Chains A and B, each alone.
Chain A
Amino acid sequence: MNNYDMEDTQNSAPGALPAVQASKLAPRRGPDAQSTTKRLQTELMQLMTSSAPGISAFPSAADNLLAWAATIEGPDDTPYQGLTFKLSFAFPLNYPYAPPTVLFKTPIYHPNVDFSGRICLDILKDKWTAAYNIQTVLLSLQSLLGEPNNASPLNGEAAELWDKDPEEFKRKVLGRHRDVDDE
């Protein structure tokens, strides 16, 4: 992963990349050979200067822009009110032309999240567009907490309880939630 360091890649990328990609990039001139890195740097800058309330995100390690850690706060007037959830973002090398892989690191009881933290959300799959970014993903997840898509649940029991027994649902949410340490 260190091959894709941000600043360093820009001039030394061809040498550091695997052979196949290096040969493809060889004829390229200019500093934007790593458009993914440039894009993620832009997003980082935006999040630092104008972050939306209730969400935050930052690269996990100083030398790797392709892995981020993020948090969202449970929206008011939902069972998740007052809770904070940690998530991980893994960006593919062709980001933004493929979606990031996003997982809940904090255990969460939700119709569209399974017990491994995997999320069922169309914009993270076939409806991903390059016009989305980390911030839009986090805002979408935040609204998913208050408005689950019960038509295609990953957690069938949660989908059922959401409609039938909000009290029990809230109990399950609180029972499952537990703070996790930073990785």
Chain B
Amino acid sequence: MANNDMEAQEALARDFQPALEGPLVGDKKSSLAITEEYAKADPIYVVKTSALPQKYSHYRPVLGDGNCGWRAAGFSYFETLLRLRNKAQLEEEVARITSLNNLLKTAGGFSEWVYEDMAEEVTGLLSDLANLLPHSIPQAEATLRERFNDPSISNSIVYYFRLLASSWLKANPASYEGFIPDGLGVDGYTKNWIEPVNQEIDHLGMTLLIDALLKPVGFAVEIVYLDRSEGSQANSHVFQSEDANGVPTNPAGPMIHLLYRPSHYDILYKDQAPQIQIPQNTNIQVQRATSLSHRHNIQTTPAVMGDMSGLDMSIFSCIPGFSLQQQSHHGFPSQYNTTPLEAYTPSSISVSPISPGASSAKVSSNGLPATFPAQPPPPNSLTPPTLPSTHSAFPPPTTQLPILTHLPAPHRPSLSSHTSLSGHPLSSELSSPSSASSFRPSKYEWEAAAEWEGPVVFQTSTFKNSHYNVAHYNNPNFQPEEWTPESEDPPTGRKRSS
């Protein structure tokens, strides 16, 4: 971090005074309290803190005693294990922590007498939570809070995490050396930043703790940065296990949310969000809902499109579940989530349960400009995904097509034809959003869809049967219009598959 940034951070730190009295780990409260706290602050803070409760329903204050980052992450580790309601996993963690003693000893160079009592507090708490879990979850939660608010126990647990982070760094110096500040070297850094008892966690320390403690259990951590940077929402950064290509290895895993204000950490919660085990279902729904109400303007990009550059992917935006923002939800590292669209979409989103290739290819080959009513070009544009296809008779690249997500239905018949093509009832695919989360269209489907040469007829009845966007099939509250003889119009209704 540049010196100027450091100074700016220091200045910000002076503005915020974390609580120096009160419990080490406080009670969970509505995150509206943060908004109120900042109501009279700098306008940037007012805007950002008022946006906070929309994404995070609750927060838990942590005492700013120089250990808050360690304590917040550590508490969240136990709390998340508890929320998963999995006794076996708690017991596995006892075994893992016990086995990590070896790392502390060999890589960390710590004597047994230094860490054994601290490690015992960690494993003891894990075992106690495992034993309480089948009997009384409130009692388990109370035990967790009590331990973390008993200074002697809490400090032992927190210090264990420091030793773990220090040992992890010493065991993997090559991965982190570039991030050690001021040329301190591994030993100098751990002596000055990790091991001193009241030294607040820095960025590398948090990274080490997440890598050593949280990623191995499949927990992701989102840190929300509340600072005076530009924007109407706090920036956030997600730390999670990724494979060599940067794809999250456990995208559906639980996520811990931490609120960072310069030199202070608290815990955030998304409690309206669904149960932590099934986060994707609702994510998908929300994503669809947002895509229904937003216009997207698509500009095809020749560099990306290659020989099928004319194929306009923009039409995907009308297909439920095929998110125009899917890239940002596949957890590419260093993703800063700032757009309002992404409220309550923590980890992942997937492509449509249907193959979009059919509709787009057909519609395109039938002459897009003719089938799309003229619309004023909306302001954004995006880069469409590539598609393994070889269509060439399409409009030239960089054709800018204004697409309203409430699309006036030209794709509807092609959806039907795709249904008959693939032999799957469209309705069954569309009406099971929970299965959509893991669905990836295979390239064979894409090709089959793209090669479909059958006639596509935009029949008047089909057109009228459409509700502009098939996304409504995935809306649990969707009520189809019912045909009534009194109606002047021809019958309209929910047509599933033909």
Contact = CB atoms under 8 A, between A and B. Distances in A.
Given A34-B152, A97-B159, A126-B198, 4 more contacts: A42-B113, A129-B191, A129-B196, A129-B197
B197 A35 contact: no
B49 to A, nearest CB: 32
Interface string B151-186: 111011001001100000000000000000000000
A46 B152 contact: no
A35 B152 contact: yes
Contact of B150 (A25, A129, A130, A131): A25
Given A27-B146, A32-B120, A97-B197, A131 B151 contact: no
A98 interface: yes
B445 interface: no
The 7 A-B pairs with the shortest beta carbon distances in the complex, nearest first, are: A129-B195, A97-B155, A24-B150, A42-B113, A131-B114, A130-B159, A97-B197
A143 to B, nearest CB: 15
B106 interface: no
A178 interface: no
**Is chain B's binding surface mostly helix, strand, loop or mixed?**
helix
A97 B151 CA distance: 10
Interface string B97-136: 0000000000000100110011010001000000000000
Contact of B152 (A94, A99, A129): A94
Nearest to B155: A97
Nearest to B128: A29
Interface size class for chain A?
Answer: 20 to 34
B4 to A, nearest CB: 25
Nearest to B114: A131
Contacts, number: 57
Given A32-B120, A36-B152, A128-B196, A46 B113 contact: yes
B150 A28 contact: yes
Nearest to A24: B150
A17 B195 CA distance: 29
Contacts of B118: 130
B199 interface: yes
Contacts of B124: 30
A47 to B, nearest CB: 12
B195 A131 contact: yes
B196 A126 contact: yes
B192 A127 contact: yes
Given A28-B150, A35-B152, A97-B155, A131 B163 contact: yes
Most B Cβ at <10 Å: residue of A30, A38, A97, A131 = A131
Nearest to B117: A35
Contacts of A94: 151-152, 155
A118 interface: no
A176 interface: no
A35 B195 contact: no
Contacts of B152: 25, 33-36, 94
Most A Cβ at <10 Å: residue of B117, B124, B149, B198 = B117
A107 to B, nearest CB: 31
Contacts of A27: 143, 146
Contacts of A127: 191-192, 196
Contacts of B191: 127, 129
A129 B187 CA distance: 13
Interface string A21-65: 000110110101111101100110010000000000000000000
A24 B25 CA distance: 14
A35 B196 contact: no
B476 to A, nearest CB: 44
B485 to A, nearest CB: 71
Nearest to B118: A130
Interface in B353-373: none
A28 B146 CA distance: 9
27 contacts: A24-B151, A25-B152, A27-B146, A30-B124, A32-B117, A32-B120, A34-B152, A35-B156, A38-B117, A42-B113, A94-B151, A94-B152, A96-B197, A97-B156, A97-B159, A97-B197, A126-B196, A126-B199, A127-B192, A127-B196, A129-B191, A129-B195, A129-B196, A130-B118, A130-B162, A131-B114, A131-B163
A95 B192 CA distance: 19
